[in-house]
Amino acid sequence: MLLEGQDGTRESHTGVWIAELVLRTIDEIGKERIGAVSSDNTGNTRVARDIICSNLPHVLNLPDPEHHLNNTWKDIASLEYFVSVGYNITWQWRSLLRDRHSSRFPAKSCEPSCESRGPNCESRLPKL
């Protein structure tokens, strides 16, 4: 969700700068309405999360939950159950997510291609 657009081309994107930008927006929304902050784990965004959470002690600091969920998904997909069916489910999800990142791809482009997966692949593919 985009709450504010900021032209930061001439700014140094330090943790302090990011935190000040976010805290201004939080002030407009209301501090009591914010329960957590989340971002990737780069140095500046980590510093910004720390600053925000020190200013708002009731706010949870959620470092890079998407990365942790992706690692969990990879662990699940590598279980023997998924490996034994002869279909690389991790590859399917990666290609699906990769293609969804680009708006020029229609929904059909996210359907798995059987040509690259060998004979009888349609019977092995889960329906999306």
pLDDT at 17: 94
65-86 CB burial, b ≥16 within 10 A, e <16:
eeeeeeeeeeeebeeeeeeeee
Give the helix, strand, coil percentages of the chain, each rounded to 5: 55, 5, 40
Query: In sequence order, what are the beta bridge partners of 60?
Result: 36
Note the pLDDT tens digit of each residue in 38-92: 888 889 999 999 999 999 999 999 888 777 788 888 888 788 877 666 556 666 6
| pTM: predicted TM-score of the whole model, two decimal places | 0.54
Residues 6+ apart with CB under 8 A from 69: none
Sign of CA dihedral 12, 40, 62, 22: positive
Q: How far apart are CA 109 and CA 116, in angstroms?
A: 14
pLDDT, residue 40, reads 84
